[in-house]
Amino acid sequence: MSNSFRWLHIVLEVIGGLALLAGLGWVAFYFLFIVPMSHFSDGNCSPDTEQRLVNAPGGGEHNFKSLHRTCGQYNFFFAYLSTGNPNKGYEYEPILELKNVAPGAARAEWDGPNRIVVTFPKSSEVVDAYARSFGIDVVLYPQ
């Protein structure tokens, strides 16, 4: 066997090994990241329900919106506070996210011009919450 065929054989073996390694890496990535998240929000979320837009009492500058969303086996409650920024995508900022909360079980209300009170079941999981945003206090009351 000549040297050129020997080198070609080695190069093809290296390319084949790299292709095999890349394929195994893709399969590992698929089963570690894609499959576990396929039942979360992969287009299987129901339309948002219980959507509310509540203005601050006394004509305050802020308002908040809240909604309930079901994604696969998970139920969420979200609340967003207006930022005063008119640019698309920046009008609201999240102030609360609850997980495992049934429709109608959580409720957000104004309690004065600078305070939002959220009541929800103790069985719910608080995923993300802000205590104060844009001068508005956010108070959580698990019941």
Residue ranges of domains in the chain:
1-38, 49-142
pLDDT, position 1? 57
- pLDDT of res. 40: 55
Specify the pTM: 0.65
The one-digit pLDDT tens for each residue of the chain (143 residues) are 577 888 888 889 999 999 999 999 999 888 887 776 665 555 677 777 888 888 888 777 788 888 888 887 888 998 888 887 888 878 888 888 899 898 888 888 888 888 889 889 999 888 888 777 788 888 888 88
Q: How far apart are the first and last CA of the chain?
A: 81
pLDDT at 20: 94
39-71 burial code (b ≥16 CB/10 A, e <16): eeeeeeeeeeeeeeeeebeeeeebebbbbbbbb
So what's the pLDDT on residue 53? 82
